[in-house]
Amino acid sequence: MKNALIVYESMFGGTRRVAEAIADGLSPSTRCTVTEVGDAPTVVGPDVDLLVIGAPTHAFGMSTPDTRHEAQSETSQPVISRELGVREWLAALVVLAPHTRTAAFDTRVKQRWVPGSAAHKIARALTHKGLSPVQEPISFRVEGKTGPLVDGELARARQWGDVLGHRLSDAPAQPIG
């Protein structure tokens, strides 16, 4: 059975819920570990076949310390990812096995068209590290800055996880090293 590491950054819980739903979709074919970015390892070993990374879209891309601070001002509850964001984590990330495939997702406010995407920035950063995507980046919609997720998005995330699992199992094995 393949192994997946799903790393998420979340402010109000929507991105975390999407990460968990993706893991549910992957679970029939893949052992999944889901972790918040502040607890995620910066060195990913050769036992990880799929690295899935997700974050909310802030200011046309990935969050910054300033946009995380701004998100905190939107609620009386502490945001989930306060200190470390995916942007900073990716800068420190080392993946030991070139066979590790990747996938990226984001959450973003439901509007007809909003420029920028954390998922596309994540995918680009992973490609710059020499990693290959198993699927194109995807966005999941939230009703407003603090959510909730749009109806049906968790089901869509589970379905995407299932697709990732099939793509991963269909991918030719690549030698380590």
Structure letter (DSSP) for residue 149: B
Alpha-carbon gap, residue 56 to 9, rounded angstroms = 7
List, for residues 112-155, the tens digit of each pLDDT value: 666 789 999 999 999 999 999 999 999 999 998 888 999 999 99
The per-residue pLDDT for 177 is 32
Residue 38's nearest CA partner among 84, 75, 102 is 84
pLDDT > 90? residue 176? no
Written as one string, the DSSP assignment of 44-103 is E-TT-SEEEEEEE-BTTBS--HHHHHHHHTT-SSPPSS-S--HHHHHHH-EES-TT-EEE
pLDDT tens, position by position, 11-62: 999 999 999 999 999 999 999 999 999 999 999 999 999 999 999 999 888 9
Residues 6+ apart with CB under 8 A from 24: 158, 161
64 or 77, greater pLDDT: 64
Counting every residue, how long is the chain? 177
Please give the distance of CA 137 from its chain centroid, rounded to a whole number.
Answer: 9
* pLDDT greater than 60 at residue 159: yes
Confidence of residue 87 (pLDDT cuts 50, 70, 90): very high
pLDDT at 175 over 60: no
Q: CA–CA separation, 19 vs 145, rounded Å?
A: 18
pLDDT at 10 over 80: yes
Q: How open is the CA angle 160-163-164, to the nearest 5 degrees?
A: 90
DSSP lists the bridge partners of residue 58 as 61
What is the set of domains in the chain, with CATH numbers?
Answer: 2-170 (3.40.50.360)
